Amino acid sequence: MRDLGEPVQIAYAASPNVPVHEHANRHAERWGSGPFVVAEHIDLAVSLVNGAPTPFDHSSAYGWWGELMVELVVEHTAPLVPPGRVHHVAYMVDSLPAAIEHCRSHGAPVLLEARTRSGTDFVFCDARDELGHLVELYERSEGLMAFYERVRSLARG
């Protein structure tokens, strides 16, 4: 995955039986991450799993942890990754199609394709057999860079 650049985020699959903000509080207390920005039931304009229209209802808590963003993902629909595991490692790339092709050529095909209501496209490539988790890809944009900086600045106080 070296051609994708440096990872920008590590995400953990969290239980849907616990509110996402409680997962965030627990992670902050135990591991020193955060503070967290919580987004519940993230509204997607499009979600395809293995190319077929499939709901992907999830809530996430985003915090800063060392040099990376940490995301705690609660999947409200059938989970792509069981709770208690690394959900994904994310990369902010210059070209989404080129990054997707790189992952495909290295045995990690696209599992989920999605677009947020605000127009951000992202994919999860399936590296679970080799790495034990998904690889998230999204193109670098001013909006994403601003969000990352906002979460980072909260950690700086």
For residue range 82-127, list pLDDT tens digits in order.
999 999 999 999 999 999 999 999 999 999 999 999 999 999 999 9
Q: Nearest Cα to 133, choosing from 79, 76, 75, 88?
A: 88
In this predicted structure, what is the pLDDT of residue 3?
Answer: 84
Write the pLDDT tens digit of every residue in 120-143: 999 999 999 999 999 999 999 999
pLDDT-above-70 percentage for the chain: 99
If one counts every other C-beta atom within 10 angstroms of the C-beta of residue 131, the result is 14
Predicted local distance difference test score (pLDDT) of residue 16: 97
> Would you place residue 157 in the very low, low, confident or very high pLDDT band (cuts 50, 70, 90)?
confident
d(CA 12, CA 62): 11
Q: Say if residue 12's pLDDT is above 80.
A: yes
Q: In angstroms, rounded to a whole number, what is the distance separating the alpha carbons of residues 140 and 130?
A: 26
Q: For the chain, give the mean pLDDT.
A: 96
Q: Compare 5 and 3 and report the one with higher pLDDT.
A: 5
Whether CATH 3.40.50.20 fits 2-156: no
Ramachandran area for residue 34 (φ above 0: left; ψ -120 to 50: alpha; else beta)? left
Residue 37 confidence (pLDDT)? 97
Say if residue 1's pLDDT is above 70. Answer: no
pTM above 0.85, yes or no: yes
pLDDT for residue 50 is more than 70: yes
- Average pLDDT in the 60-68 region? 96
Nearest Cα neighbor of 64 from 97, 24, 35 is 35
Whole-angstrom Cα distance, residue 75 to residue 58? 4
